[in-house]
Amino acid sequence: MEHILSNELGRLIVGLIVVLIFSQLNALFLVWLERKVAGHIQLRIGPKEVGPYGLLQTIVDGLKLVGKELITPKRADRILFIIAPVLVFVPVLVPFIVLPFSKSLPLNDMNVGLLVIFSFSTINVLAILIGGWGSNNKYALLGAIRSVAQNIAYEIPLLLSVLSVVLMTKTLQMSKIVQAQGSYWFFLIQPIAALTYFICATAETNRAPFDIPEAESELVAGFHTEFSGMRFGLFFLAEYTNVFVVCAVATTLFLGGWQGPFGFSLGIPGIIWFLAKTYLLVFVIMWFRWTFPRLRFDQLISFSWKVLIPLALANLIITAGVIKLI
Amino acid sequence: MGYFKDILVGGWSLVKGLEVTIKRIYRPVVTLQYPRHRIEMSPSYRGHIELKRFPDTGTHYCVACGTCMRVCPSQVIKLQGEKDKALDAKRVVHYYIDFSHCSLCGLCVESCPMQTLTFSKEYELADESRWDGVIDLVRYFEESAR
Amino acid sequence: MGVERSMPLDLLSKTIENKVPEAKINETDHSKTGCFLEVVVPVAKITDTAEAMYDELYYLEAITGLDFTDGFQVLYHFNKFETRDRVVVRLMVGKGEKVPTISCIYSAALWHEREVHDFFGIEFEGSPDMRPLLMPEDVDFHPLLKDFGKVNAYHRMDEIYGDDK
Amino acid sequence: MATTNSEPVLTKEYFLNLGPQHPSTHGVLRVLLKLDGEYIVEADPIIGYGHRGHEKMAENRTYKQFMPNPSRVDYLSGFLYNHGYVLAVEKLMGLEVPERAKYIRVICSELNRISSHLLWFGTFLMDLGAFTPFLYCFDDREVILDLLDYITGSRLTYCYCRIGGVAKDIDDQFIEGTLNFIKRLRSRWTDYHNLVTKNVIFIHRVKDIGIIDKNIALKYGVTGPNLRGCGVPYDVRKAEPYEIYEEVDFEIPVGEKGDIWDRYMVRLNEMEQSCRIIEQAIKKLPRGPVKASGVPVKIEPPKGEVYFPFESARGEAAFFIVSDGTEYPYRIRIRVPSFSNLQALTEVLPGTLVADTIAILGSIDIVVPEIDR
């Protein structure tokens, strides 16, 4: 065992298996959490029948989805239709390789870690476009088009806000960014960047109030209208994994990663700190969803161009200036 | 300046909204876990109709006059009476209602000259076939006696 | 219910009389029929009457068809927003006779006319759209005709309206 | 699929079937939208999926037997229709109803109006993408349903009014429950306003969208909150007062422009006005019988016709009854407000976005079975 772990390749293989298991369980847990949060916000209970506190409910739901027939619409583009769910799910697993769960736990602490995350998360849009186009359904197509427009508008402020952190730390390596926050967390000195990042992350993952591509009161289910069974399940799992990833990145960039506040770890292991902060952010995103009405598509884009991008840009310039002066 | 004010005011309104929902998380739930907990039906609840049991005689007074049958807007009532020699009066033998077509208007209850119809408190009326909605009230009456 | 008419009576009557001299205008008892004025016009003059109503800022409440053995009646109920002032315009339509549409004046009439067409088979001339509204597209019957389905009574007009005039 | 053609790419308009099965068409409404990108070029509502033929049914049922039908025409304000039908028949017969019955009917009607508006509030926000207000409203609405269930015996399709009165008297428990409910509803306004009315996203979604102005209202016969939203204070309860509406003091809330925001505010204010009516009615509630004594067993109104309008939760509804002097009505015509309100959309929708369409459709508060009858 020791031997395998010390080997770089062995470490990667074991890690990948752990990542696969963790990402699945995490997504299932998040679905459960979402239903519980929604339930209690709405004065209901949420799932409670299967397992303690209904914890096994999502597993049962997953099994049901696996057992369902995979329907491919007659007029759909068969290849794209089949590729889309796979394409949407695979890229969201990649960021797990570089996420610094604790000091020793990033599977592979690449020096371009941040870049890897953002480049792979962009593939998501492509997958949605393929899925929406391939299903040959007007609702799906509208959803796909909206999704592309939305993501183009939100990638920019997202990256701008991340860039101000990168300017401060002068590195793209996740662990070094965390270590740079030893004494204070970055959201204290970069509040605007943190807020911009968080808003953009919500939009990036198509969560309410930015759930325009799948707005079910308008587009039925948006880009995944035609997907059934586990194909739909993959879209679903990818969405929740994505939420986890953006929150984990937010934790890394702005909330000090595996470290406790102001350098005090309080005897709690790093991984617990990391997960606690991430899940707190996930909770906030869910809280958003069950509070706000949905924006309209043009309002969303004008919000991005008129508010977020100028703010992020100004923040970046000020950061650069301050760093130069110091 | 108005630009920043708009952002701040708008942002603050969102925070207020979040406050409303977060407060609810701690509130007790208002839903009722139905098969585990049951509710009392209100006194005037209208289930399907049933024959009223009068305490003085321990039976119903239906004489199969057919008023309810004629007054029913949906024609869901069919009844059959037969002369009871011992009592020297007509008594109902079968009283069928097709509850699946009943609109619970209560005209039968109100028009009954013997006042022997009433609404039951039955509310778990889901069944497997449409014919399960057909109830023989006389049998229902006899079964409820047991 | 003693509801007073809040508009001077003759204002509308005059407008209608100017446009449609043939119109027979009767006052009716609001506490009994819910209308203040009953206007009977020839079928061909309904467009002019509707124009007069529109000029006086009335809105169209409903178009109702009635089937009698000796013809149809088409009733147009008009009312005003600010004042209480319901007017019923009554058309005596012979069987098979066509009624000019008023949907060019009142857009609301389009759907009402389609509905009357659905239920009674009365044709509205010049209507831009006579697809069935409430009935399925392929029906060939008109359910509210008194000879369709179970019928309790089929009267002549004067059996109902004859006595009180 | 992989065809290669060298023709230039053409953009063209396309049709989108919104409904009949769609999450936000409130029943089985189908709107055929002609779209240019996401902009609507033409909207054609197609109705009739829920046509049950109430008007034909009326001809084969006696006046009494028709009693359960009206509340099923519009199941969200069933009591108001039940009430309206009974009033129309009473007017036809010239029947005088005991005072207490009138008060009870009005109290229940207004409760039903509030419950209808609350449901609208929830579903409208659901159309805008906010789920939670829906559940909060249902929580409040549940109290009304329980109250009405307590006296009428049904929760949605009430058949409580009788020709000449009401089915049974109300008791102190009901009155107390009603007053408590009003107190409870008033304490909820701050939460609703914080959650929805002041929300910046909500404001942006509804302001200046879907304007139904006075002109459109006149052409299409739009009534109810949709009309009052554009500043016309027309309410049948004031214009042609029936029952005790003349004796109670209430205002008609109006908007300014007739956009979604105005309609929203009008409905919220109307709930408050309904609360006021209920409070006054309870205060004035006289003692006495709840059913007129001289009502014949066979209802046979004299020959003639009556057009009886009443204010339903969605606007001016009316029963037009032609009687031939027998037990069976010769014809009953039901004027439903949503019919006209929906038709106005053919003029309002073009030029808006799909997202707005859903918001407008929700804001006019249609009940599709009511349109289809």
Read off the pLDDT of residues B42-81 as tens digits, 9 standing for 90 and up: 877 887 888 777 778 777 777 878 888 888 888 888 888 7
| CA D82 – CA D89 distance, rounded (Å) | 11
| CA B78 – CA A53 distance, rounded (Å) | 50
Contact A307 B18 (CB under 8 A): no
Give me the residue spans of the domains in chain C.
9-149
Q: What is the pLDDT of residues D122-171, one digit of tens each?
A: 888 888 888 888 888 888 888 888 888 888 888 888 888 888 888 888 88
- For residue D306, tell me if it sits in a domain: yes
Q: What is the pLDDT of residues A245-292, one digit of tens each?
A: 888 888 888 887 777 777 676 777 778 888 888 888 888 888 888 888
Mean pLDDT for the stretch of residues C19-43: 78
Contact A291 B33 (CB under 8 A): no
As a whole-number percent, the residues of chain A with pLDDT over 70 amount to 95
Run of H or E including A24 = helix A8-41
- For residue B24, tell me if it sits in a domain: no
How many CB pairs below 8 A link B and D?
Answer: 73
B89–D contact, CB cutoff 8 A: no
Q: What is the pLDDT of residues C107-126, one digit of tens each?
A: 888 888 888 888 888 888 88
Report ipTM for this prediction.
Answer: 0.84
| CA A285 – CA A208 distance, rounded (Å) | 8
Residue-by-residue DSSP string for B2-49: HHHHHHHHHHHHHHHHHHHHHHHHHSPP----TTTS--PPPTT---SE
Domain count across chain B: 1
Mean pLDDT for the stretch of residues A173-192: 79
User: Predicted confidence band at C8 (pLDDT cuts at 50, 70, 90)?
Assistant: low
Q: Does residue A85 carry a pLDDT above 80?
A: yes
Exposure string for D317-349, b = 16+ CB within 10 A, e = fewer: bbbbbbbbebbbbbbbbbbbbbbbbbbbbbebb
For residue C65, the model assigns a pLDDT of 87
- Work out the number of other CB atoms within 10 angstroms of the CB of residue C28: 18
Mean pLDDT of chain B: 81
Q: Does residue C46 carry a pLDDT above 80?
A: yes
| CA A313 – CA A164 distance, rounded (Å) | 9
- For residue B16, tell me if it sits in a domain: no
Identify the closest residue of chain B to D64 by CA–CA distance.
Answer: B107
Q: Does residue D1 carry a pLDDT above 50?
A: no
Exposure string for A253-271, b = 16+ CB within 10 A, e = fewer: bbbbbbbeeeeeeeeeebe
Mean pLDDT of chain A: 82
Q: Show which of residues 165-184 on chain D sit within 8 Å of chain C, judged by CB atoms.
A: none
Output the pTM of the full model.
0.87
Identify the closest residue of chain A to B14 by CA–CA distance.
Answer: A292
Q: What is the pLDDT of residues D262-321, one digit of tens each?
A: 889 998 898 888 998 898 888 888 888 888 887 877 788 888 888 888 888 888 888 998
Contact B24 A43 (CB under 8 A): yes
As a whole-number percent, the residues of chain D with pLDDT over 70 amount to 97
The answer to whether the beta carbons of residues A90 and A121 sit under 8 Å apart is no
| CA A32 – CA B128 distance, rounded (Å) | 32
What architecture (CATH level 2) is domain C9-149?
A: 2-Layer Sandwich (3.30)
Contacts of A296 in chain D (CB under 8 A): 204-205, 353, 355-356
Alpha helices in D94-131 (DSSP H): 99-127
DSSP state of A298: H
Q: Does residue D103 carry a pLDDT above 80?
A: yes
| CA C55 – CA A91 distance, rounded (Å) | 67
For residue D96, the model assigns a pLDDT of 84
The answer to whether the beta carbons of residues D331 and D318 sit under 8 Å apart is no
Question: Which of D38, D139, D201 lies closest to A209 in CB terms?
Answer: D201
- For residue D151, tell me if it sits in a domain: yes
Domain holding D97: CATH number? 1.10.645.10
- For residue D349, tell me if it sits in a domain: yes
Domain holding B125: CATH number? 3.30.70.3270
For residue D2, the model assigns a pLDDT of 47
Per the structure block, which two tokens stand in for D124? 């409208």
Q: What is the pLDDT of residues A193-246, one digit of tens each?
A: 888 888 888 888 888 788 877 777 777 777 778 888 888 888 888 888 888 888
Contacts of B73 in chain D (CB under 8 A): 61-62, 65-69
Q: What is the pLDDT of residues D323-340, one digit of tens each?
A: 888 888 888 888 888 888
Contacts of A222 in chain D (CB under 8 A): none
Query: Which one has a higher pLDDT value, D373 or D280?
Result: D280
User: Predicted confidence band at C5 (pLDDT cuts at 50, 70, 90)?
Assistant: low
DSSP state of A63: H
Contacts of D220 in chain C (CB under 8 A): 59, 106-108
User: Predicted confidence band at C7 (pLDDT cuts at 50, 70, 90)?
Assistant: low
Contacts of D306 in chain C (CB under 8 A): 32-34
Q: Does residue A2 carry a pLDDT above 60?
A: no
Domain count across chain D: 1
Contact A45 B33 (CB under 8 A): yes
Contacts of A208 in chain D (CB under 8 A): 129
Contact A42 B14 (CB under 8 A): no
Give me the phi and psi of D21, to 5 degrees please: -105, 100
Q: Which residues pair with C62 in a beta bridge?
A: C77
- Work out the number of other CB atoms within 10 angstroms of the CB of residue D273: 20
Supply the range of the domain harboring residue D322: 14-372
User: Predicted confidence band at C165 (pLDDT cuts at 50, 70, 90)?
Assistant: very low
Q: What residues of chain D have any CB closer than 8 angstroms to a CB in chain B? A: 61-62, 64-69, 72, 132, 136, 139, 142, 146, 149-154, 157, 159, 167-168, 191, 194-196, 198-201
For residue C3, the model assigns a pLDDT of 54
- For residue B81, tell me if it sits in a domain: yes
Mean pLDDT for the stretch of residues A176-184: 77
User: Predicted confidence band at C163 (pLDDT cuts at 50, 70, 90)?
Assistant: low
For residue C1, the model assigns a pLDDT of 42
Mean pLDDT of chain C: 80
As a whole-number percent, the residues of chain D with pLDDT over 90 amount to 1
As a whole-number percent, the residues of chain B with pLDDT over 90 amount to 0
- For residue D5, tell me if it sits in a domain: no
Q: Which residues contact D286 (CB under 8 A, 6 or more apart)?
A: D99, D100, D103
- For residue D214, tell me if it sits in a domain: yes
B20–D contact, CB cutoff 8 A: yes
Query: Which one has a higher pLDDT value, A300 or B60?
Result: A300
Angle, to 10 degrees, between the axis of helix A229-254 and the axis of helix A270-289? 120
The answer to whether the beta carbons of residues C45 and C101 sit under 8 Å apart is no
Contacts of A215 in chain D (CB under 8 A): 129, 355
Identify the closest residue of chain A to D194 by CA–CA distance.
Answer: A291
Q: Does residue D3 carry a pLDDT above 70?
A: no
For residue D350, the model assigns a pLDDT of 86
- For residue D1, tell me if it sits in a domain: no
- For residue D152, tell me if it sits in a domain: yes
Supply the range of the domain harboring residue B112: 49-145
Mean pLDDT for the stretch of residues C3-7: 56
Q: Does residue B141 carry a pLDDT above 60?
A: yes
